[in-house]
Amino acid sequence: MANKQRGWLILLLCLLCLCGCSRKEAGADPSAGRYAIYYLDKTATKLTPLIYETQTTDKNQLVGELMQQFLHVPSAEDLITATGDKTRYESFSFDDKVLYVYFDENYQDLKTDRKTLCSAALTETLAQIIGVEHVGIYSGGKPLAGVDGSLLGPFSENDFVNSVSDVNSYETVELPLYFAAADGKKFTEETRSVTYRANTLLEQVAVEQLIAGPRGSGKAILPPETKLLSISVNENICYLNFSKEFLNPVTGVSPDVSLYALVDTLTGLKTVQRVRISVEGSQSVLFRDTISLDALFEQNLDYVGKGLPGNTASPSETAATDASQ
């Protein structure tokens, strides 16, 4: 397959750091009602979390409560809101595990670096809510878009990979991923915008996105409990080492589809021609009792679905909640 990867935008954000500290370092514990709310420092180049404690457990009420905190900096803190003074929050809605948040047109008009920081802050804040796996952002009634018009999101925490204090350069790419079709016998492409640290391997980002699973009509190809233990690329060969959970079956998806959706995703990148897979350091294993991993895997187009619907998550037009609280 020809390399379909294209960057909608390459960001070289001269950030001192994207996040001042992680949720764990900040003391966040959503299970105990402690949430990290993300704001910007005065230079608008750094995200800083503050802990907010609540006893609220109802999901809809909790979204409203966290948004109230997100939009208003505590008076004693020398911080600013990620959205700025002009952007107006309107409402939110749920579509399964996707939380859609609606703003006026000023969100789309934010400068590119500010918009990236704001999207990261919003996602990191709201994805702590149990049952929320992705956050979709709408501006002026339309999905958030890049400067070239390509749609951005919905976002997950993994879309802002390794947002730690030593990071000062990010890139955003439109990444083609393969997930299983409904019958589990073919796979179909889902293109996803991902913002990641520039010194992180794009191959790692792609695999982590595959493990996170599809956002639209596709089916997962890998068990969500799978861990990527190591990854490297040498002479156009991508070397992967997974935890043993990689071998677990995925209901309704054939082993060949799971394996070659992974392989074809990686060989779609310009740096990879072949893939070698290990499980906890060993290649002398059968993938789901069927396929020997003691081989170099190359692109295989036999499983690419034709005429399949694209995987595009769309927001629910119901259950919108009034933002005025």
Residue 301: Cβ-neighbour burial (10 angstroms; 0-12, 13-18, 19+)? exposed
pLDDT, residue 225, reads: 95
Report pLDDT digits (tens) over 146-191: 776 778 878 887 776 544 333 345 677 889 999 999 999 999 999 9
- Region 295-304 average pLDDT: 94
User: For 53-66, what is each residue's pLDDT tens digit?
Assistant: 999 999 999 999 99
Note the pTM of the prediction, 2 decimals.
0.51
Residue 46 has pLDDT above 90, yes or no: no
**Domains of the chain in sequence order:** 17-167 (no CATH), 203-302 (3.30.300)
Distance from C-alpha of 128 to C-alpha of 125, rounded to nearest angstrom: 6
Q: What band does 313 get if pLDDT is binned at 50, 70 and 90? A: very low
pLDDT reported for residue 216? 81
The pairing of beta strand 170-180 with beta strand 321-322: unpaired
Task: State yes or no: pLDDT of 308 exceeds 80.
Answer: no
Q: For the residues 281-287, what does the mean pLDDT come to?
A: 93
| Token pair belonging to 282 | 């060993």
> Predicted confidence band at 112 (pLDDT cuts at 50, 70, 90)?
confident
